[in-house]
Amino acid sequence: MSDSASPVILITGCSTGFGRSLALEALSRGLRVIATARRLETIADLEEKGAKTLSLDVTAPAEQLEEFAKKAIGAFLEDIKAQFDTNFFSVINLTTKFLPHFRSRKTGTIVNISSQGAYLALSGGGIYCASKAALDSRCGPKELAPFGIRTMTVNLGAYRTAVAGSNTKKPAKEIDGYNDAHEFLSIFQERSGQEPGDPAKAVKKLLDLVLTSKELPARFTLGDDAIAYGEDTPGKAERA
């Protein structure tokens, strides 16, 4: 496969976790990768491996909260907004930038990374789960298929990434009485790095599906635990 014929993949969040694993796997397959992160120094090694690296803060377009709302519920509302800015609105903002190009070419693939949290109730994880559920849509394929655009949501199980460690932060203001939720979050963080899933294996299965399938399922579930919890959730599933 010549370089000019290789698919171009734009991957956000390449400093850690699935973004990094996916970028490395794509580069190893000779694909042309545009890797982004907020701080370029965190992905300098990807540039050395052949990726085009760009600085991108996916939450930058976020609107400012009204002053009275900040004063009324302050940090709690800001925590909610920050979660949705990162997990949902950033995806919408970036996707809408590419859609005109995809529509004009009558081709393109959009893969959104969601979580088993989209259908699994987690104590203390209501806002996170809501933001992931917002991504877990089957409307995209119906709306974009007429333009030749493939769309798929990936529901991940528990994988050894930073999501349970450095990427998990307690709210700026905790509300008394939610003892179970506070305890769950502490246990969640303590078990970081011990999750059953291997990101390297998962991204291989993900890229295999995207690169070899003419049609994609609206929903793709990855991981034994995600499959177990989502037995009634329609879509394709893989253990990794």
Domain ranges of the chain: 58-159+197-238
pLDDT value of residue 22: 95
Residue 85 has pLDDT above 60, yes or no: yes
The residues that bridge with 153 in the sheet, in sequence order, are: 112, 219
- To the nearest 10°, report the CA torsion of 60, 25, 117, 84: 0
Sheet with 236-238: list strands edge to edge.
108-115, 149-156, 219-222, 236-238
Q: Considering only 47-51, 71-75, 143-147, which range has the smallest mean pLDDT?
A: 71-75
What's residue 102's pLDDT?
Answer: 96
Contact 75, 174 (CB under 8 A): no
Question: According to the model, what pLDDT value does residue 63 have?
Answer: 44
Percent with pLDDT over 90 in the chain: 36
Instruction: Say what the pLDDT of residue 168 is.
Output: 58
pLDDT at 49 exceeding the cut of 90: yes
List helix spans (H) across 35-177. Answer: 44-48, 67-84, 90-105, 126-135, 139-144
| Residues noted as catalytic | 114, 128, 132
Which of 10-19, 76-85, 93-102, 144-153 shows the lowest per-residue confidence on average (mean pLDDT)? 76-85
**Average pLDDT for residues 83-90, to the nearest whole number?**
91
Evaluate if residue 33 carries a pLDDT over 70: yes
The stretch 98-123 carries a mean pLDDT of: 89
Is the separation of the CB atoms in 25 and 202 below 8 Å? no
Give me the helix-helix angle, 199-212 and 17-28, nearest 10°: 60
| SS3 label, residue 226 | helix
- In this prediction, residue 237 carries a pLDDT of 56
Fold of 58-159+197-238: Rossmann fold (3.40.50)
- pLDDT given at position 6: 74
Q: In this model, does residue 26 exceed pLDDT 70?
A: yes
29 pLDDT more than 90: yes
What's the confidence (pLDDT) of residue 104? Answer: 96
Q: What is the mean pLDDT of the chain?
A: 79
Among the residue ranges 41-50, 73-82, 114-123, the one predicted with the least confidence is 73-82
Share of the chain above pLDDT 70, in %: 70
Which pLDDT score is estimated for 2? 41
pLDDT digits (tens, 9 = 90+) for 184-231: 666 656 666 666 678 888 889 999 999 999 999 998 988 877 777 665
